[in-house]
Every structure is written in C-alpha cells, then in structure tokens.
Amino acid sequence: MAGTQSKSSGGRAKSATKARGAMKNVPALAEFSKDEELNAYREMLFIRRFEEKAGQLYGMGLIGGFCHLYIGQEAVVVGMEMAKEKGDQMITSYRDHAHMLACGMDPKGVMAELTGRSGGLSKGKGGSMHMFSKEQEFYGGHGIVGAQVALGTGLAFANRYKENGKVSMAFFGDGAANQGQVYESFNMAKLWNLPVIYIIENNRYGMGTSVERASSTTDLSQRGASFGIPGVQVDGMDVRAVKAATDYAMEWCREGNGPYILEMITYRYRGHSMSDPAKYRSKDEVQKMRSEHDPIEQVRARLLEKEWSSEDDLKAIDKEVRAVVAASAEFAQNDPEPDPSELYTDIVL
Amino acid sequence: MAVEILMPALSPTMEEGKLAKWLKKEGDTVAAGDVIAEIETDKATMEVEAVDEGVLGRILVTEGTEEVKVNAPIAVLLEEGEDASAADKLGAASAAPAAAETPAVPAAPVAPAAPVESVVPADPEIPAGTKMVSRTVREALRDAMAEEMRRNENVFLMGEEVAQYQGAYKISQGLLDEFGERRVIDTPITEHGFTGLAVGAAMAGLNPIVEFMTFNFAMQAIDHIINSAAKTLYMSGGQMGAPVVFRGPNGAAARVGAQHSQDFAAWYASIPGLKVIQPYSATDAKGLLKAAIRDPNPVVFLENEILYGQHFDVPEVEDLVLPIGKARIVREGTDATMVSWGIGMTYALQAVDELAKQGVSVELIDLRTIRPLDMDTVLASVRKTGRLVTVEEAFPICSVSSEIAYQVQSEAFDWLDAPILRVTGKDVPMPYAANLEKLALPDAREVIDAVKAVTYTA
Ligand SMILES: Cc1ncc(C[n+]2csc(CCOP(=O)(O)OP(=O)(O)O)c2C)c(N)n1
Ligand SMILES: [Mg+2]
C-alpha cells in the first residue's frame, strides 16, 4: 500500500508540482466528528451490501451483460461525496453503481436499471454501465475506457463559462490513465485553468493487467506534471484521507487554480466483472487487503474504540442498510420490463 | 429454513456449465463468502461463493456433471441446527420438470405446399472425402493464428489481454506459451496508439495481427485503420502498404448495452483500400483468417462473440486457406435468394430450413467477405430466382444490405419479380432490457415473413 499522500517520486515531476505549491498544507487525515464517522460507515456499508446483492442477482440471471462491482473501493467515492458541494458534478466509467448511490440517486432505480426494468433510472435502456441524473449532477456511466475524462473536462469548461463556481469530478481507472484523450484533456484543462478534479481510482489492475505491466511510470499522480497539473497519491482505503485530499483539491479548483489530480490507491476485491476469474493475482493478496485495509472495518474499529457506537448500534445500522437494499432488489425483480414502444423513444428530439 | 443453492450465471453468454468441483462436503459449515464449488463457464473456471451461512445439507449435483443449467438447484443449505430431512423436502419440491425448451422458430400456420428437400451443396474449396473434425469458432481462430505464426516469423499478435490473460474471450489461448512475449504482446488500453504502432510496424515489413477486445473500441483507433492503413498504398503510388489484420468480436453480444453492441461492417466496407471479412462458420473463420494474415493489404476481420463457442465441422487439411472475396452457396434453391453473413446466418439458416418444410425453396448465400463483395454469385442466383432477401444484424440505414440492393437493382433489374427486402437490426441504439434487446435484433420469424412477402406466399 502506498503511503498516505506520498509526494511525487520522480525528480523532475517533483519540482514541477512543488513549484506550484501542491499539497503544502494538506492535512493527511480529516478529523471526523462522530456524525461524520457514522455517516461514512453507513454509506460505505450501504454500497457494499448493494453490490453484494447485485452480484447475487447476476448469479440468478436477473442481471445480464457486464456488471462491475465496486466492493473494496467504497472509501473513495464516499470520502469525495463528503467533500463536495451541491452542484458539483460527477462522471465516471462503467464501475458506477457506488457513485450513483453516493450522490443520492434512488437505489430502487439503480437496481431496477440493473435488472432492465421500466422503473430503472434509464427506463431499462441503459443497463449497469449507463445511468445518469440531471438532478444529482451525475453524468454517467460510460463504457468506453477514458471517454469520461474528456467529458468531465467539458463539464468543467461549462462551469468556467457560466462562472458558477462548481467543480467537476472525473473518475477513471489506472488502466484508463493510459488513454491518449486523458492527456489531450489534461493539456486543455491546464491551458484554460478549468475547475476539474481528476480522480484516478488506482485499484492496481485494468482487467487482468497490473499497473506495472501497463504503465511506464507507476506514480499516476504525476501524470499531469508535464502540463503543470499538481497531483498526489492518497490512501483510498481510508475515508478520512480521501476527504482531506478532496477538501484541498476542491479549494484549489474553486480558487481558480485549474485542475488537480488525486490518485486514490485502492483495491477491488472482486473480479473485473462477473465473468473474470481473477487468476492474475494471488488469493493472499486479496485476503491481505481485506483483513488489513478494509475501508469499512477501519471506520467500524474507530467507532467502537472511541465508544461512539456499540456493537448493537452497528448491527442496527447493518439491519437498516440491508432493509433498503432488500427493498431495492424486491422492486427491481417485480417492476415490469419496459413497454415495447420504448424501443423507439429517446433517439432524437 | 433450508435454502437452495442455484447454479449461478457467471458470464453474459453462459446458459449452462460444468460443476467441476465441490470444495465443501455435505455436513460442512459454510460462512457467507466461502468458496464452495468451482464451475466451468463457457469462458473460464469460476469459484462459487456462498451467499448465506449454514450447513451444506445435501449436494444435488455431483462434481464432474456437465451441462448444468443456470438456476438449477445444485445444493441445499441448512440453517444451523436444522436436520437433513429439511433438505430432502426441499429437494423433492424442486424436482419438478424443467420448463420446456421453446422452439427457435415459432410454429407457423400450415402452408399448403408440400415440403421441399433442403439441398446442401458441398464446399467447392474442400476436396470431396476430406475428414471433418468438430471445432468451435474460437478454436478455429486460434489455430489459424498459430499456424500462420509458425509459418511466418514476421507475424505477431498484439492487443489488450491477449497474452497472459489468454484473451478476454480466450481466442489467443496458448499462444503466449508457444510464441513467447516477443510475438504475443499485451498492450496498455491505448487503442489509437497501438493501432498506429502496428500500422507503422507493417510499413516496416512486419505482419501485425491487432486484436481489439471488441470492435466498439476500434472506434478509438479508426483513424489509423482508415487514414494510415487503408490509404497508404494509394498515397505512396504503390510503394508501400500496410499488411495488418485488425480482428476481434463485432456486433451485439448479450445484454451489453448501446456502447458495446455495434456492428461496424458497413463502416469499413465503404473504404477503398480495405478488405473486410465477416465469417459465420468455423471453417470460414479459419480459412479466411489465414488468408487475411497472408494478404498484403489491411484486412478488417469481424468476429462475433455469440459464435465463438459454436461447433462446426472443419476439414482436417494441412493448410486451410480460403479465397477472400468469394461467397458460398450453403443451400441451393429456386424460389428466392437469401444473402447473409456473420451471425445473420443463424437467422437465415433457421428460416430457410423452416421454409423448406413449408414448401418454399430458398437459395442461401453466405457472403463471408463484405469487401470485395462477390456480386457475381449474388447476381447469378437472383437471375435464377427473381427475388432477394438480405439478413444482417447491423443498423438498416446505409447498410451492407443497402449496397447489395443497389447493385442488384442496377445489374439485374429485369430479372426481379418483387422488391428486394432486408431484415436487419432495428434503427435504434441497442437497449439493455431483455425484452427490448430481443426486439432490436432480427429473428427467424422476420426472415420467414420477408421471404413470404417477396414470394407472395404470405
Ligand atoms: C476503449 C476501450 N477499450 C477497452 C475496453 C474494455 N475494458 C473495459 S474495462 C477495461 C479495464 C479498465 O481498467 P481501469 O481503467 O483500471 O478501471 P477498473 O476496471 O479497474 O475500474 C477494459 C480494457 C473498453 N471498455 N473501452
Ligand atoms: Mg483499475
């Protein structure tokens, strides 16, 4: 596990970020109140239970196609959600269920989209990889690796154009970080000082390829160095570290300094999608992550240690969360399929 | 309460699998998340994790059993303290017969005409009496690449997950072992970059095979396929070309939504300087991929994920190389001509065989190559039957069907007895919902209706 917010490793890259004063005064960990800890716990647990249920429904044949679970990475999106303001936008890849839940989209609508029903957020027409919400400023759900990086830069362009003070958050993977359009976007974002946070969710693998096998330099936080975009690595398994780094990056963007890169060092416990046997890594590697770095267990341990919650309190939260997930699954199984006439709607206006 | 553990679906295309191994015995305690069994899907061996906790009361499907249907009960999980009789009760209740298989082609009203015999002509490229072996399209493609790599040191394979992972769809299985890292190369996810790199390597004398994980992602790289590969021979006045094979699955798979389901045949087929192949059978996949790798031009080779696992009889010959640009008549007939290719052939074949039973004799042509189009074969057939139906999964507008219809009306207008009809995917982005996806794709019923319309037998 890379350390919390290690500064850049390469010599030249280091001076490039340093010259811009990146992360000089960033606290490593956000100080969480009891309410914040409880909120983080509930949100992360909710995402995990939701994803476990989605995995089950896939196994039963109720969800088809690709289904990419977020289990293990929960601290990233929850910590960022805690730092964002209303109106800030999010955009991500196909591994998107958690982002939608975190930004407040209806879990019934998400689950029903996974089962392809009329009550799904895209009326059943998008599926697991393609959901959107104008209301919650969530811009999808994209299946083409890297596409959301240019799109997220466009959201930031619109923010600057309208001078609305909002920040765009563009999430992408370690694998996506090698796509050409990422660097075309970086250049424009810095050239025009657009308010965008690029969040690289480095879960160590792009499908079956480890970062080391795909990237000539593996400190992805420094990928913006040649454009003058500062960046840091963050312990993406610790929700407090995510929150602290995001607070800093948000302020950087809102003050008009242009883009910022946060490389979240994280891990996915499951295979790339439901059909990936994940033979490219050892069971020990996964087990070690689960037992030593689990984002939910970390919060749970703190809540108990500080005596902010009892075992019973936490059980009650688990029960509440399971009930919401069960209700979503229930809805998603009983909601009707879209009407056949929907085949020809929403194509052009 | 006892609960059944069901055979899980673990890939978009999995309908059944083999229960390879039980990792827990009857009587063992299991916790949620424990691996209880291993199953082989159409692509890989996967672990099955317990979802609930309890005691494994009864194993209903013994290890080694093949063709276990998705959602069939495979074991019964008892709650702590419950005895095994609970498992028996549940087992008995679920022993009801499985739902009847629905026929691929819905029953049609009885036609008055007597059935005609389906005439299946031999492939003129395959010597009579050649021994046939059953192969999947997946194996045929792998064998084609392996044979050509053995034959020519300059042939190499590159793409995402082609080496260590053995291919996202397992087409390159075993190639890394045989040819090593120099010739079987995992790339980063950088389609535009590695496609350009391959074209450059081809200009310098190598023969790259570029695998796109799917052709949807080749849109990232289409500039190099068209501007760099297809046009170089012409722009250089014939001095240099780009002998690259661009291959991978193309078109719809199963429930993968709008961005992962497009058929690009018509896009590439409109480009002078490219050859475009879209095979259906394993024999054509093998023989035409070998031809494509030897071809001095850039070749776009469009495969289909649904076809990968299908078995065909493949001739066992030393060196199966089939001619690019030649269609094949797969059913002889007299009442109408049907032209199809790639996965469209599955609907076409179902329809033609059903129509034969109803007394309508259809001549079915598998185009195999989309560019250059073998119009000689198509026109000869249309001049015989006077009617034409085309079948493909792609979008209808500006499709390969449109081009065929144009050429037929211009070359065989006087022979036509009915308007040309096309059966295609619908003119909509691919929806995710199961019912809508079905509606968006063609089916045998639509093909039968089209033939009845052009033969005025509806
Ligand atoms: C342009 C493009 N190329 C390839 C793919 C197939 N693909 C889907 S996800 C993926 C791996 C991406 O890895 P990463 O960016 O690390 O994200 P993660 O899945 O780990 O969240 C690949 C190769 C695609 N969807 N789009
Ligand atoms: Mg990754």
Specify the higher pLDDT residue, B43 or B434: B434
- The 10 Å Cβ neighbour count of residue B237 is 7
Q: What ranges do the domains of chain A cover?
A: 11-331
Lowest mean pLDDT among A325-339, B63-77, B248-262, B306-320: B63-77
Contact A275 B43 (CB under 8 A): yes
Within chain A, how many helices (H) and strands (E) appear?
A: 12, 8
Q: What angle do CA A274, A278, A283 make, to 5 degrees?
A: 125
Ligand 1, atom 17, residue with closest C-alpha = A173
Q: Does A45 touch chain B (CB under 8 A)?
A: no
**Structure confidence at residue A4 as a pLDDT band (50, 70, 90):** very low
The sign of the dihedral angle between the CA atoms of B375, B381, B384, B385 is negative
pLDDT, tens only, B218-252:
999 999 999 999 999 999 999 999 999 999 999 99
**What is the CATH number that goes with domain A11-331?**
3.40.50.970
What is the residue type of B42? D
**What was the ipTM of the complex prediction?**
0.92
Task: Determine how β-strand B29-30 pairs with β-strand B3-6.
Answer: unpaired
Q: Given this model, what pLDDT does residue B286 score?
A: 98
Contact A65 B190 (CB under 8 A): no
Specify the higher pLDDT residue, A295 or B121: A295
Which stretches of A93-211 are assigned E, i.e. beta strand?
Answer: 138-141, 168-173, 196-202, 205-206, 209-210
Q: Is the pLDDT of residue B108 over 80?
A: no
Distance CA B253, CA A65 (A): 8
The beta-carbon neighbor of A344 closest among B161, B428, B434 is B428
Where do we find the tokens 């879990």?
A107
DSSP states of A269-284 as a string?
A: SS-SSTT---TTS-HH
Choose among A71, A124, A8: nearest CA to A273. Answer: A71
Choose among B254, B260, B425, B434: nearest CA to A338. Answer: B434
Contact A180 B192 (CB under 8 A): yes
Distance CA A103, CA B299 (A): 46
Q: Given this model, what pLDDT does residue B117 score?
A: 86
Contact B188 A175 (CB under 8 A): yes
Within chain B, how many helices (H) and strands (E) appear?
A: 14, 22
The beta-carbon neighbor of A66 closest among B12, B188, B436 is B12
Residue B160 beta carbon below 6 angstroms from any ligand 1 atom: yes
Contact B426 A56 (CB under 8 A): no
Give A29's contacts (C-beta < 8 A, 6+ positions apart).
A4, A238, A240, A241, A244
Per-residue pLDDT, averaged over B358-365, amounts to: 97
Length of chain B: 458
Contact A144 B433 (CB under 8 A): no
Q: Is B67 a catalytic residue?
A: no
The residue to mutate among A69, A145, A202, A268, having the most atoms of ligand 1 within 8 angstroms of its beta carbon, is: A145
Task: Determine how β-strand B336-340 pairs with β-strand B3-6.
Answer: unpaired
Specify the higher pLDDT residue, A259 or B72: A259
pLDDT, tens only, B163-199:
999 999 999 999 999 999 999 999 999 999 999 999 9
Q: Is the pLDDT of residue A19 over 50?
A: no
- The 10 Å Cβ neighbour count of residue A337 is 16
**Structure confidence at residue A307 as a pLDDT band (50, 70, 90):** very high
Tell me the ligand closest to A96's alpha carbon: 1
Q: Is the pLDDT of residue B94 over 70?
A: no
Q: Is B224 a catalytic residue?
A: no
Average pLDDT value for chain A: 93
Structure-block tokens of residue A2: 């890379």
Q: What angle do CA A346, B212, A95 make, to 5 degrees?
A: 55
Contact B10 A127 (CB under 8 A): no
Distance CA B4, CA B432 (A): 29
Q: Coil, strand or helix: which one is B134?
A: strand
Distance CA A124, CA A31 (A): 41
Partners of B275 in the beta sheet?
B299
B44 chain-A contacts, CB cut-off 8 A:
275-277
Q: Coil, strand or helix: which one is A318?
A: helix
Tell me the ligand closest to A70's alpha carbon: 1
CATH superfamily of B132-315: Thiamin diphosphate (ThDP)-binding fold, Pyr/PP domains (3.40.50.970)
Tell me the ligand closest to A177's alpha carbon: 1
DSSP states of B342-406 as a string?
A: TTHHHHHHHHHHHHHHTT--EEEEE--EEES--HHHHHHHHHHHS-EEEE-SS-STT-HHHHHHH
CATH class name, domain B3-93: mainly beta
B9 chain-A contacts, CB cut-off 8 A:
58-61
pLDDT, tens only, B110-157:
345 789 988 889 888 888 899 999 999 999 999 999 999 999 999 999
pLDDT, tens only, A80-117:
999 999 999 999 999 999 999 999 999 999 999 999 99
Partners of B79 in the beta sheet?
none
Q: Given this model, what pLDDT does residue A164 score?
A: 97
Q: What angle do CA B59, B60, B66 make, to 5 degrees?
A: 110
**Structure confidence at residue B450 as a pLDDT band (50, 70, 90):** very high
- Chain B residue with CA closest to A277: the answer is B46
Partners of B188 in the beta sheet?
none
- The 10 Å Cβ neighbour count of residue B84 is 14
Choose among B85, B23, B33: nearest CA to B54. Answer: B33
Q: Is the pLDDT of residue A263 over 70?
A: yes
Average pLDDT value for chain B: 92
Give B210's contacts (C-beta < 8 A, 6+ positions apart).
B158, B159, B194, B195, B198, B244, B245, B246, B247
Going from the C-alpha of B267 to that of each of A131, B226, B300, B405, the distances in angstroms are 28, 10, 11, 17
Length of chain A: 349
What is the residue type of B364? L
Of the residues B148, B160, B224, B260, which is catalytic? B260
Q: Give the helix/strand (H/E) hosting A52.
A: helix A34-59
Separation of CA A203 and ligand 2 centre (Å): 5
Domain over B328-454 is classified CATH 3.40.50.920 = yes
Interface of A with B in 263-322 (CB under 8 A): 274-277, 280
Distance CA A27, CA A251 (A): 13
Q: What ranges do the domains of chain B cover?
A: 3-93, 132-315, 328-454
The residue to mutate among B192, B213, B220, having the most atoms of ligand 1 within 8 angstroms of its beta carbon, is: B213
Residue A207 beta carbon below 6 angstroms from any ligand 1 atom: yes
Same-fold call for B132-315 versus B328-454: yes
The beta-carbon neighbor of B164 closest among A52, A176, A280 is A280
Per-residue pLDDT, averaged over A181-185, amounts to: 98
Q: Given this model, what pLDDT does residue B82 score?
A: 80
Instruction: Determine the distance in angstroms separating the CA of A216 from the nearest CA of chain B, rounded to an integer.
Output: 10
Lowest mean pLDDT among A127-131, B33-37, B385-389: B33-37
| Reported pTM | 0.91
Interface of A with B in 129-188 (CB under 8 A): 129-130, 142-146, 175-176, 178-180
B306 chain-A contacts, CB cut-off 8 A:
none
* Residue A146 Cα: closest atom of ligand 1: 1
Per-residue pLDDT, averaged over A15-29, amounts to: 49
Contact A129 B257 (CB under 8 A): yes
CB A181 within 8 A of CB B190: no
Q: What does the buried/exposed string (b/e) look like for A247-281 if buried means 16 or more CB atoms within 10 Å of the residue's CB?
A: bbbbebbeeebbbbbbbbbbbbbbbbbbbbbbebe
The sign of the dihedral angle between the CA atoms of B251, A336, A143, B47 is negative
Of the residues B191, B303, B354, B363, which is catalytic? B191
Distance CA A270, CA A278 (A): 8
The beta-carbon neighbor of B257 closest among A143, A175, A338 is A143
